[in-house]
Structure 1
Amino acid sequence: MGSDGHCSFVLLAEFDILAGAQLKYQFPQPLGVDESVLAMSMLPDGAETQLDDWTIFFLNQTTFNTISPVLALDTPEVKTSALAGEAAKPELLCVLNLVRTKHDASLDRGARVLALAICTRHPFIQIFKPVLLMALDDYLSDPSQDCLARLFDAVNSMDLSGAPILTRNEKMVMRSSERKDVFAEKFTHLAHLPNSTHAAAKNNGKSVQHRATQSAESFSSFEEGILMRSQEREETAVQVQPPTGQSSPSEASFSLGGSAVWVGDESGMDDNEGEDGSILSFVGTTVTESTRRRRSTDASSGSSQAHMKMRPSMIHTPSYYDPTTMRTGMAKDTHFYHTTVAYKDHQLPIKMPLATFSEEVGDYSLITLVKAFSSTTLVSGPQHPHLHTNGPQTHPIIILFNALVTGKRIIFLGHRKPAGEVSSFVLSACALGSGCGAVLRGFIERAFPYANLNNRDEWEAVPAYIAGVTNPIFKSSPTWDLLLDISTGSVTVARDIHSTYPVSTGAPLNLPNMVRSTTFNTETSLGSDEDIVRTANAKDGKGDFVAKADNNADNHFIEDIKSAIEYHYGEGLVRVRFTEYVLRFVRLASRYEEDTTGSTKFGYPSSVFNNNAPNSRLGSGIVFNDEQAGRKELTANSHRFEAWRKTNSYEYICADFRNAQLMDAIQGFDVTHQLFRMRNAKHMSDGEVTAITRTLAESIKTYEQAVELLAYLMPQGGGLVHLAFCLFHQKEAVRDATVDLFNQLRAYPIGVQFIQALNHFQRYAYVRQAHAREKRFAVEHQQQYQPPPLQSQSSYGGGPSSYRYDYSSDRMITPTANGGFQ
């Protein structure tokens, strides 16, 4: 959260019959941006045809919309993630704008059109819609700047001090989990805080007076002291106390043939299935959701009376941690932080999403984007290797993704559509290109969700812009490379795209002649082994090309997405699948860069496991089962890889990878490679399995390391299920390392939840082996410190006390000839 407030500025614009769109108020002071630019952005074309409309635009993207508040206390912070050699950029401001048409027969045009907007640093701007609606009603009843002051104070008094600040890995785990109590332990501090509703009401109870001024004479009147957290909360580390060999299972465990189960409480599993309840069966894993709903199962093939009865966990969590309470009380869904905004006499409920990345702005929908552009027959224009990676069969969504990552100029046209609907498509496209904000970045900074003719020259001058327009005049503009019409679902490639982006012959691939085992899911990435055919099409003198219908991963991926939507899977699953797709694009591009240049700047070098190297060196990077199929896939994608490497998105990922090498909790090896080897490899030696499990067990010692590992193990891909198979491995070293790893994970509530997602056979295998190891360790410990047994009288010829054991010196005392002891 920004330290200077949730709302930076409040703007109000109104349409004048004579002067046109006018910016009437800027509160608390002028932004320093051309007022006509702001007014036209707030009052889109055709606004009078909509009663209410929402639009979004950004500030501080480029020189024409960069604010310059001379006296403001709210000077935007400077980004620390600017690329090397670039000037530091001011922080991006998101503007949420509400446009309303109020019909009035007494007016010349029969209606009054006005817009109210707030500027914020938060990407989850949709949470401010309720208060913005109420504030605009307030302004219509009392048209003065006092309304803007009340809105400004109300939003800045919103209490987010109790909201957990999640790391990137925690966000990845949260957004891939359907459980309503994920990271519930981070909300336990709320029980000791004052009621947020009362606190908000108290803060808004003070009547802050602001001078009513017009836009030209606004002044700085920032109020200090919005509620923020005073200190960082320490991560909750839950200590585990395993049962000893002598203790009997407590009430916090259940018993299977004398073995205590420590896995954890499954209460709430039935409540967390949601719309994606059978998601694991959808992706083809061996885990079935039906096992989650069972409260007991037969523990013995020879007895139908023995059942597993799930009871609370033996993990000793703090007394205030109660996931059930967290679900039914103050945090019914831990994916959101619940608070309120007190505006006048109303307490407006706010649900702030906790797993949002900066490239995800607003409440976008990838499902809507896929549904709108779903037909290859509606794609027109020449084919270009940067865009058509599967020839004429390239799906429109893949064409859009290719255009995004290769830096093409993109326009979404919505003639006679609400500007808010067009804005939503632009924001969805930015999320698509970035992998829902989790992989790539640099898209939002060149996005113009609503663009107009007034500042056309400025935003069209931005390289690789992504713009949303409602005026059909842009259809004939020569400045775009890809135009998507949301009204018809058609996709048009510019006629001169070949002259704008000439295709050069890519560097030859230099793949080593060795068999490398794949790290990525080959059944969804490589597709079939059909040949990729690229031929020069002499027609029209253009370098078009054709390819077989299913020659790569893209079509298989789109079919998966279409199936998920058809079977009514939710937005969450679709977003996770697109994140996986972009992750694989990056790793495949890393392999391409390595094979063409000899090294890669944003990934681990590709290598296979070497059992002969010191410490059995683990493999890394993306490698293939079939080297010939791998060469075909790299060749098919070579043109878009080359184009992507010339964009800012590529520079950002290189910088992010360098930072990850320094900041990641797990260091020294490619975690993704090891996990995908365990999941997808057709053949693995015992030595490699042993090395992987041992390395993971030795590397997961802290909470941060555990969460980072779990961030790679999305539940949609099976979670821990593939690692759990190692519990059945023929080698004891593999089984022991897996038990060690699971013991480390179950020390934390989030690890317990992942273990709970395993099926009963895998959980019981873990519990049985862990319990057996505890008993074995206890016996070894007891034997190590047990004194030698006392010998009988017949053995030594002496009396009952002939030999004594001195416990203080841990030795036997032998009798002497004179009857003493030595």
Structure 2
Amino acid sequence: MGSDGGHCSFVLLAEFDILAGAQLKYQFPQPLGVDESVLAMSMLPDGAETQLDDWTIFFLNQTAFNTISPVLALDTPEVKTTALDGEPAQKPDLLCVLNLVRTKHDKTLDRGAKVLALAICTRHPFIQIFKPVLLMALDDYFSDPSQDCLARLFDAVNSMNLSAAPILTRNEKMVMRSSDRKDIFAEKFGHGPPPLQGWNNGKSLLQHRSTNSGESFSSFEEGILMRNKDRDEATMGAVSVQQPTAQSSPSEASFSLGGSAVWVGDESGLDTASGEGGGEADSIISFVGSSTVASTHRRRRSTDASSGSSQAHAKDGMLRPSMSHTPSSFDPYMRSGAVKDTHFFHTTVVYKDHQLPIKMPLATFPEEVGDYSLITLIKAFSSQTLVSGPLHPHLHTNGPQTHPIIILFNALVTGKRIIFLGHKKPAGEVSSFVLSACALGSGCGAVLRGFIERSFPYANLNNKDEWEAVPAYIAGVTNPIFKSSPTWDLLLDISAGSVTVARDIHTTYPTTGGMPLGIPSLVRSATFSTEGSLGSEEDMVRAGNAKADNNADNLFIEDIKSAIEYHYGESLVRVRFTEYVLRFVRLASRYEEDMTGSTKFGYPSSAFDNRAPNPRLGSGIVFNDESAGRKELAANSHRIEAWRKTNSYEYICADFRNAQLMDAIQGFDVSHQLFRLRNAKSMSDAEVSTIMRTLAENVKTYDQVIELLAYLMPHGGGLLHIAFCLFHQKESVREATVDLFNQLRAYPVGVLFLQALNHFQRYAYVRQAHAREKRLVVEQQQYQQPPPQQQPPFYSSTSFNRTYSTDRMVTPTINGGFQ
């Protein structure tokens, strides 16, 4: 991103004329070439005069009626490669338009008020960062109504310097957005050295820090390390231990309490709400955030050995909010030097000598536009009693018990026409619901795409024919006349919180009477599976009718509602929906494989095979209960079939093909292996050993480490389940785990994940890594020492009844004698 990176493409100004209506007065620096009346009506929504200030959002370059070229003013026409098959397509970048509407009352005017709208067009999805400068520019225009105001706004936004902003990859964004630590990726802001590559010139970069007697340590950890030190000194004597120059296990010095980035024993580096040092517990909470390790929401006080662990709980038993990392002299990466939150890049926009602070989010995907809120969306549509209309298998995957949010998700992924109606609501509020729905369907932009390009956050009667002609549109309206329109499939009334399914939806989207081909056999095999028992005649009748209950969706929604009730943040809810959409895609991949024999957007389903000389890892989605898995496939079959006919499906197939070529970790399904380690009821030693050895061999570079960590959501335990392999009965598994953790520890972000492990897991890692390094050093020294001078063999006659001269070679024979 450069300082002149074209942040603002156009600036528009519209006003309401009492005679002519909504008029587009200025287009700077040049006309867009779009129908001016369409732009003016989009900028001046219905009922704008009733609001002092309102925000609307709409897009350009979606369809033929609102396409402009070039997307940058005074530039040559530029197109973007967005074709599904990878070939260039004549489709320019999507432009986001942020529009501010203001009503200024003036009794001297004919209508008693003046209504103006000022908008900027940008390619950035994080359009909310431009709100401060837009507010100031509109104030400027009211005081000096001239085109010079638009020119100043255009120049100010384009002069915003983002050249120092780090550009994150998809996996880095996934790691950042799942972490509440304010120092995540601080090394990318120039606050510390570049990522470590093992050891530097034979000396560990994680040095031991001298500590004062007044500092607080965990006596449990300190005692163990002191005993290890005494034992090593007794066995090795005065032998000096040198650090290996290549990447190796951490030394004792680097694991000392004061300076270790793994032990994190210095509580002085963390601020707590009570002003006391929380130590390791605060570090974990600041990394994990306000979420728990398990997916449930039970509360239990910690029994950790650290004296500061209990401080991580508030009086009501709830986890405290995340802590910020404050300056500390021993932090080798100087993450604490980043005073501001590294989730954002902080810059300024200079408008008329005013320095306006800007916080640009770094983990935003193109499908996430604006400052949306999934929590607001869920709270608005949370009552199943307010759902009306016929049941349709594309939408009601759990029959009448389907939650409204699941109905909305199903409508999004199956390509239904959706309208959000906000009668007497600000247009900005309606727009926010549309953008939240797009994020919901895409997994917060991290999984699916194709929703923003068919969304119209604010739509009106003036361009009704155009946006209603877009297949599977997602529109936000304020005029109640749309409620009687026959062109929508799902209508969500924001004011009432009601969800209405169109009466003729079965005619518009007909479905077969039974399950799709292949699924009935799955259901029958599940019914007569020996893994489950049918406890009653009612259960047998239900199973015989093949009515599979999709309880996974209901459990997920209950989990989300509990998280909101316990005041968990927006970030956790977004991560959970990302996981939900990821699982839907993996479930659809399994369904496609069962139906067609192969899948275009996922790994084929297979179990671990230990029969070959080289064991083959499993892949694909995992069901702990195959019977329940088959029922889930049957329950989701209709919505998966409908989704496979949408552009979203074509996009995911193209994205998977690209991932197969571009992913840093190649050759096996990482998600499958992590799921097995986390949820498998039983695993053979051979499978665990193969998984850990494969991870250790394929996770070495920075990109590979980031890709692995992107799968390990902190609220799901992070490295917790991998760390259990440190206690495995097989030494090869423990050794591979230590190798993997050593490779993670070479990078600052890996250190943060290791910090989140509990005392026992970190101690197991320290002890095993330290013991192995000592062993390797001793072996190396023994190898380097010259062998002792050997005396010529002499064998007495009493031993063999014969005396052998010293110059005669004695060799054993086959039968054990000598010759």
Q: Tell whether the 8 Å contact from 1:179 to 1:272 is kept in structure 2 after alignment.
A: no
Assess, with a 3 A threshold, how the Cα gap between structure 1 residues 71 and 421 changes in structure 2: closer, same or farther.
closer
Aligned to 2:155: 153
SS at match of 1:780: helix
Q: Does 1:487 align with 2:510?
A: no
Aligned to 2:445: 437
Q: Tell me which amino acid in the other structure corresponds to 1:323.
A: R
Q: Tell me which amino acid in the other structure corresponds to 1:136.
A: L
Q: Distance in 2 between matches of 1:71 and 1:623?
A: 47
Q: Tell whether the 8 Å contact from 2:418 to 2:489 is kept in structure 1 after alignment.
A: yes
Once the 2 structures are TM-superposed, how far is the Cα of residue 82 of structure 1 from its aligned partner? 1.9
Assess, with a 3 A threshold, how the Cα gap between structure 1 residues 530 and 587 changes in structure 2: closer, same or farther.
farther
Once the 2 structures are TM-superposed, how far is the Cα of residue 551 of structure 1 from its aligned partner? 3.9
Q: Tell me which amino acid in the other structure corresponds to 1:508.
A: G
Q: Distance in 2 between matches of 1:43 and 1:64?
A: 18
Q: Tell me which amino acid in the other structure corresponds to 2:692.
A: T
Aligned to 1:802: none
Aligned to 1:264: 262
Q: Could you tell me which of 508, 513, 516 is aligned with 2:518?
A: 508
Aligned to 2:742: 743
Q: Could you tell me which of 161, 166, 183 is aligned with 1:181?
A: 183
Q: Distance in 2 between matches of 1:730 and 1:242?
A: 36
SS at match of 1:370: helix
TM-score scaled by length of structure 1: 0.81
SS at match of 1:21: strand
Once the 2 structures are TM-superposed, how far is the Cα of residue 244 of structure 1 from its aligned partner? 9.6
SS at match of 1:584: helix
Q: Tell me which amino acid in the other structure corresponds to 1:362.
A: G
Aligned to 1:60: 61
Q: Tell whether the 8 Å contact from 1:241 to 1:316 is kept in structure 2 after alignment.
A: no
SS at match of 1:765: helix
Assess, with a 3 A threshold, how the Cα gap between structure 1 residues 293 and 148 changes in structure 2: closer, same or farther.
farther
Residue correspondence of structure 1 range 640-679 to structure 2 within 5 A? 640-679=639-678
Q: Tell whether the 8 Å contact from 1:287 to 1:758 is kept in structure 2 after alignment.
A: no
Q: Does 1:338 align with 2:337?
A: no
Q: Does 1:11 align with 2:12?
A: yes
Q: Distance in 2 between matches of 1:49 and 1:513?
A: 60
Q: Tell whether the 8 Å contact from 1:95 to 1:120 is kept in structure 2 after alignment.
A: yes
Q: Tell whether the 8 Å contact from 2:492 to 2:500 is kept in structure 1 after alignment.
A: yes
Assess, with a 3 A threshold, how the Cα gap between structure 1 residues 629 and 512 changes in structure 2: closer, same or farther.
closer
Aligned to 1:92: 94
Assess, with a 3 A threshold, how the Cα gap between structure 1 residues 463 and 719 changes in structure 2: closer, same or farther.
same
Q: Tell whether the 8 Å contact from 1:97 to 1:117 is kept in structure 2 after alignment.
A: yes
Q: Tell whether the 8 Å contact from 2:745 to 2:754 is kept in structure 1 after alignment.
A: yes
Q: Tell whether the 8 Å contact from 1:176 to 1:572 is kept in structure 2 after alignment.
A: yes
Q: Distance in 2 between matches of 1:415 and 1:429?
A: 18
SS at match of 1:90: coil
Q: Could you tell me which of 430, 435, 446 is aligned with 1:427?
A: 435
Q: Distance in 2 between matches of 1:487 and 1:75?
A: 45
Aligned to 2:199: 240
Aligned to 2:242: none
Once the 2 structures are TM-superposed, how far is the Cα of residue 629 of structure 1 from its aligned partner? 1.5
Q: Distance in 1 between matches of 2:301 and 2:757?
A: 10
Q: Tell me which amino acid in the other structure corresponds to 2:600.
A: K
Q: Tell me which amino acid in the other structure corresponds to 2:706.
A: V
Q: Distance in 2 between matches of 1:770 and 1:647?
A: 51
Q: Distance in 2 between matches of 1:293 and 1:647?
A: 54
Aligned to 1:693: 692
Q: Does 1:397 align with 2:405?
A: yes
Q: Distance in 2 between matches of 1:242 and 1:314?
A: 22
Q: Distance in 2 between matches of 1:739 and 1:288?
A: 30
Q: Distance in 2 between matches of 1:707 and 1:591?
A: 26
Q: Distance in 2 between matches of 1:484 and 1:645?
A: 25
CA shift digits 1:276-329 (9 cap, x unpaired) = 74412552599989589947799xxxxxxxxxxx99999995xxx411111x2x
Aligned to 1:80: 81
Q: Tell me which amino acid in the other structure corresponds to 2:94.
A: L
SS at match of 1:578: helix
SS at match of 2:430: helix
Once the 2 structures are TM-superposed, how far is the Cα of residue 782 of structure 1 from its aligned partner? 1.1
Q: Distance in 2 between matches of 1:395 and 1:182?
A: 36
Q: Where does structure 1 lack aligned partners over 5 or more consecutive residues?
A: 192-233, 299-309, 516-521, 523-528, 537-545, 796-813, 815-822
Q: Tell whether the 8 Å contact from 1:340 to 1:350 is kept in structure 2 after alignment.
A: yes
Aligned to 2:368: 360
Q: Distance in 1 between matches of 2:72 and 2:573?
A: 45
Once the 2 structures are TM-superposed, how far is the Cα of residue 507 of structure 1 from its aligned partner? 2.1
Q: Tell whether the 8 Å contact from 1:435 to 1:580 is kept in structure 2 after alignment.
A: yes
Assess, with a 3 A threshold, how the Cα gap between structure 1 residues 108 and 34 changes in structure 2: closer, same or farther.
same
Q: Tell whether the 8 Å contact from 2:10 to 2:73 is kept in structure 1 after alignment.
A: no
Q: Does 1:413 align with 2:415?
A: no
Q: Could you tell me which of 350, 359, 371 is aligned with 1:351?
A: 359
Which stretch of the first structure deviates more once superposed, 347-356 or 3-12? 3-12
Assess, with a 3 A threshold, how the Cα gap between structure 1 residues 265 and 249 changes in structure 2: closer, same or farther.
closer
Once the 2 structures are TM-superposed, how far is the Cα of residue 163 of structure 1 from its aligned partner? 0.5
Q: Distance in 1 between matches of 2:55 and 2:6?
A: 23
Q: Does 1:766 align with 2:768?
A: no
Q: Tell me which amino acid in the other structure corresponds to 2:99.
A: N
Assess, with a 3 A threshold, how the Cα gap between structure 1 residues 408 and 139 changes in structure 2: closer, same or farther.
same
Which stretch of the first structure deviates more once superposed, 77-86 or 121-130? 77-86
Q: Tell me which amino acid in the other structure corresponds to 2:48.
A: A
Residue correspondence of structure 1 range 429-468 to structure 2 within 5 A? 429-468=437-476
Q: Distance in 2 between matches of 1:357 and 1:762?
A: 35
CA shift digits 1:613-666 (9 cap, x unpaired) = 241000000132322211111000000000000000000000000000000000
Assess, with a 3 A threshold, how the Cα gap between structure 1 residues 43 and 583 changes in structure 2: closer, same or farther.
same
Q: Distance in 2 between matches of 1:514 and 1:770?
A: 48
Question: RMSD in angstroms over aligned alpha carbons?
Answer: 3.4
Q: Tell me which amino acid in the other structure corresponds to 1:354.
A: L
Aligned to 1:818: none
SS at match of 1:258: helix
Q: Distance in 2 between matches of 1:107 and 1:439?
A: 52
Aligned to 1:214: none
Assess, with a 3 A threshold, how the Cα gap between structure 1 residues 176 and 77 changes in structure 2: closer, same or farther.
farther
Q: Distance in 2 between matches of 1:624 and 1:771?
A: 38
Q: Distance in 1 between matches of 2:686 and 2:299?
A: 27
Q: Could you tell me which of 334, 353, 356 is aligned with 1:322?
A: 334
Once the 2 structures are TM-superposed, how far is the Cα of residue 356 of structure 1 from its aligned partner? 0.2
Q: Distance in 2 between matches of 1:78 and 1:36?
A: 26
Q: Distance in 2 between matches of 1:341 and 1:316?
A: 33
SS at match of 1:97: strand
TM-score scaled by length of structure 2: 0.82
Q: Distance in 2 between matches of 1:531 and 1:577?
A: 34
Q: Distance in 2 between matches of 1:340 and 1:416?
A: 36
Aligned to 2:800: none
Q: Distance in 2 between matches of 1:624 and 1:416?
A: 47
Assess, with a 3 A threshold, how the Cα gap between structure 1 residues 172 and 69 changes in structure 2: closer, same or farther.
closer
Q: Distance in 2 between matches of 1:564 and 1:70?
A: 42
CA shift digits 1:198-227 (9 cap, x unpaired) = xxxxxxxxxxxxxxxxxxxxxxxxxxxxxx
Q: Where does structure 2 lack aligned partners over 5 or more consecutive residues?
A: 212-220, 230-251, 271-279, 311-324, 532-537, 795-806, 808-819
Identity %: 77
Q: Tell whether the 8 Å contact from 1:376 to 1:394 is kept in structure 2 after alignment.
A: yes
Assess, with a 3 A threshold, how the Cα gap between structure 1 residues 325 and 147 changes in structure 2: closer, same or farther.
same
Q: Distance in 1 between matches of 2:399 and 2:729?
A: 47
Which stretch of the first structure deviates more once superposed, 506-515 or 343-352? 506-515
Q: Distance in 1 between matches of 2:463 and 2:16?
A: 18
CA shift digits 1:524-582 (9 cap, x unpaired) = xxxxx97895999xxxxxxxxx968x642100000000000000000000000000000
Q: Distance in 2 between matches of 1:476 and 1:727?
A: 63
SS at match of 1:455: helix
Residue correspondence of structure 1 range 630-649 to structure 2 within 5 A? 630-649=629-648
Assess, with a 3 A threshold, how the Cα gap between structure 1 residues 669 and 513 changes in structure 2: closer, same or farther.
farther
Residue correspondence of structure 1 range 368-379 to structure 2 within 5 A? 368-379=376-387
Q: Tell me which amino acid in the other structure corresponds to 2:488.
A: W
Q: Distance in 1 between matches of 2:460 and 2:772?
A: 69
